[in-house]
């Protein structure tokens, strides 16, 4: 995939930018796959990453951190933040019922 195909905006007529709809659809599809991976493996991930933020890309945990800021920094450095990585806090606290 060329860098232009991965870019959300592409040059159109001189001075104008056009939304690259195909790139956005690929991004959303990847994000959905990664979110479904988290849901499908939630119990295992909760045991492996208790009370941590995780980042999943291409259906694999690629980073974790105790803070969302730390996770975003890691995902950004890896170049996965804008490519459909899904994030989730693996909270071990019981849910409160109201």
- The SS3 assignment for 93 reads coil
- DSSP 3-state assignment of 9? strand
- What would the mean pLDDT of 53-66 be, rounded to a whole number? 97
Task: Over range 71-83, report the average pLDDT.
Answer: 91
Would you state the pLDDT for residue 6?
A: 58
In 3D space, the residue among 26, 27, 35, 29 whose CA is nearest the CA of residue 55 turns out to be 35
Please say if the pLDDT value at position 64 is more than 90.
yes
Neighbour-count burial of 63, counting CB atoms closer than 10 A to its CB (0-12 exposed, 13-18 middle, 19+ buried): buried
Mean pLDDT of the chain: 88
Contact 81, 75 (CB under 8 A): yes
| Alpha-carbon span 76 to 57, nearest angstrom | 12
Question: What is the pLDDT averaged over residues 52-75?
Answer: 97
pLDDT at 18: 83
Mean pLDDT calculated for residue range 29-56: 97
């Amino acid at each position: 995939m060329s860098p232009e195909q991965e870019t959300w905006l592409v040059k159109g007529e001189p001075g104008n930018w056009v939304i690259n709809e195909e790139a956005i659809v690929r991004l959303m599809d990847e994000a959905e796959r990664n979110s479904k991976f988290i849901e499908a493996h939630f119990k295992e991930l909760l045991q492996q990453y208790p009370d941590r933020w995780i980042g999943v890309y291409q259906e694999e945990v690629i980073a974790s951190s105790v803070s969302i800021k730390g996770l975003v920094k890691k995902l950004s450095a890896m170049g996965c933040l804008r490519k459909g990585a899904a994030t989730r806090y693996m909270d071990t606290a019981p849910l409160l019922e109201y």
